[in-house]
């Protein structure tokens, strides 16, 4: 059963990747094409996900919106993970007092809810796609930093590193040939888990009007637009919401699978 779930999750992620890179293969239409004569049509064979208030095909918008949502998720995860790796390497080789100070700061930042921290950052940067990437990346960095810092400190204090130190290798040699190779599997698991979370936070910002602005087919923005017509056209919120939930669930399943395989 677990194997089947993993396979299904992997297949879904594969479809998501195709939708993100080549959306026209799955939805050849124009996600911004307006046709008022077909507004608020319910799901049918011609419009599988129905149409919105402007007659735009919701299926086409959901598929093409994969690129926007996935790009924000990947970029934000890369930013947060990059900061975490730099802090992790610094604290791994730094004196104890520096490691202690960095850890205290990370714990304080980690105690702040991710969305609240993202909103605080957006208050300084202003809304938009790039600010959303920065806000989500910075707000998720403390969590990644704590995990990576613990993992790297364990490696540095291991017998393997003691042996490398006795051989007289430089710090760069230790990082390049021993620290990074022994951390890749853990990083891969964290990245997989982080992408799904970043998509959710980015969608939340767009839902609040602080992320990618309309009429771009970003899932969070589509949810925000659809809530106005929830009593009239349920499909405007259901299908973008399902896209967010399924991509987050699929990434989480793969990430947990990778975590178990590295433990």
**Does pLDDT of 72 surpass 70?**
yes
pLDDT given for residue 239 in this prediction: 94
How many angstroms separate the CA atoms of 201 and 197, rounded? Answer: 6
Domains and CATH numbers, the chain: 2-262 (1.10.3720.10)
Residue 255 or 205, more confident? 205
How many angstroms separate the CA atoms of 68 and 206, rounded? Answer: 11
**Does pLDDT of 261 surpass 70?**
no
- Average pLDDT value for the chain: 84
Using alpha carbons, list the distances in angstroms from residue 178 to 78, 186, 209: 22, 14, 45
For 84, the token pair is 């975490």
pLDDT classification of 2: cutoffs 50, 70, 90: low
Query: What contacts 94, CB < 8 A, 6 or more positions away?
Result: 102
Q: Tens of pLDDT along 74-124? A: 899 999 999 988 888 888 777 888 888 888 888 888 888 888 889 989 988
Q: Tens of pLDDT along 136-195? A: 999 989 888 888 888 888 877 777 776 767 767 676 777 777 777 777 777 887 888 888
Helix, strand, or coil (residue 118)? helix
Phi and psi at residue 57, to the nearest 5°: -75, 120
Whole-prediction pTM value?
0.82
Using alpha carbons, list the distances in angstroms from residue 136 to 113, 154, 163, 249: 11, 28, 40, 19
How many angstroms separate the CA atoms of 38 and 201, rounded? Answer: 32
For 150, the token pair is 């613990």
Q: Tens of pLDDT along 19-48? A: 888 988 898 889 998 999 999 999 999 999
């Amino acid at each position: 059963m677990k194997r089947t779930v993993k396979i299904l999750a992997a297949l879904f992620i594969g479809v998501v990747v195709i939708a993100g890179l080549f959306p026209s293969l799955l939805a050849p239409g124009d996600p911004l094409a307006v046709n008022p004569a077909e507004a608020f049509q319910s799901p049918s064979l011609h419009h599988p996900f129905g149409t919105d208030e402007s007659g735009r095909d919701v299926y086409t918008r959901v598929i093409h919106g994969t690129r926007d949502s996935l790009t924000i998720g990947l970029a934000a995860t890369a930013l947060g993970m990059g900061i975490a790796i730099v802090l992790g390497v610094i604290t791994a080789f730094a004196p104890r007092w520096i490691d202690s100070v960095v850890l205290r700061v990370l714990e304080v930042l980690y105690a702040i809810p991710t969305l609240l921290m993202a909103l605080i950052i957006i208050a300084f940067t202003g809304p938009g796609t790039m600010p959303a990437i920065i806000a989500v990346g910075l707000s998720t960095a403390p969590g990644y930093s704590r995990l990576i810092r613990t993992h790297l400190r364990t490696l540095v204090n291991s017998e393997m590193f003691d042996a490398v130190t006795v051989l007289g290798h430089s710090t760069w040699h230790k990082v390049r040939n021993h620290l990074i190779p022994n951390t890749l599997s853990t990083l891969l698991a964290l990245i997989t888990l982080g992408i799904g979370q970043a998509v959710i936070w980015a969608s939340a910002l767009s839902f609040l009007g602080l992320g990618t602005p309309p009429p771009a087919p970003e899932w969070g923005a589509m949810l925000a637009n659809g809530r106005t017509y929830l009593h009239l056209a349920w499909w405007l919120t259901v299908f973008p919401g399902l896209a967010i939930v399924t991509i987050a669930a699929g990434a989480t399943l793969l990430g947990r699978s990778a975590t178990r395989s590295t433990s």
